[in-house]
Amino acid sequence: MHEWQDKRFRIAKRYTHNLKDLPVTIPHVDEIVNHCYHKYVIRLENKETRDLLKKRLNANVHYPMPISENPLYKTHIHRKDNCLNSQLICDTILTLPIHPYLTDDEVDNTCKIIMATI
């Protein structure tokens, strides 16, 4: 498990290095934190760019809807207009591949596709 975590950490550092100068929000983790990088989620400028990139990368959106829109909460009264930030985040985030078997070339290729798309 520690070996996999170390590999994901190395991959995350590579993503961060390659994407840091792009108009993409990347995870910020303080150096004193031992992050496991179960996911590496980026945020794009808008839904259209996110959707295009999702298609090109065959990537996933792990949080496609705000929690307030989950069917589990259908009996709870809430105002959808009070959850606009949650909807914005759900519309603009994308989870990049980060499994421990990714090669540097695969990570770099993913970053090149992101650069070419945005």
Please name each of the domains of the chain with its CATH number. Answer: 2-117 (3.90.1150.10)
6-41 pLDDT per residue, tens = 898 899 999 999 999 999 999 887 777 777 778 899
C-alpha closest to that of 95 among 70, 59, 50: 59
Note the pTM of the prediction, 2 decimals: 0.83
Q: Which residues contact 113 (CB under 8 A, 6 or more apart)?
A: 53, 56, 57
d(CA 61, CA 53): 11
Lowest mean pLDDT, pick from 13-27, 76-90, 99-113:
76-90
Instruction: Give the CA radius of gyration of the chain.
Output: 16
Residue 56 tokens, joined: 């090109």
Lowest mean pLDDT, pick from 1-10, 81-90, 94-103, 107-116:
81-90
d(CA 18, CA 78): 40
pLDDT of residue 62: 82
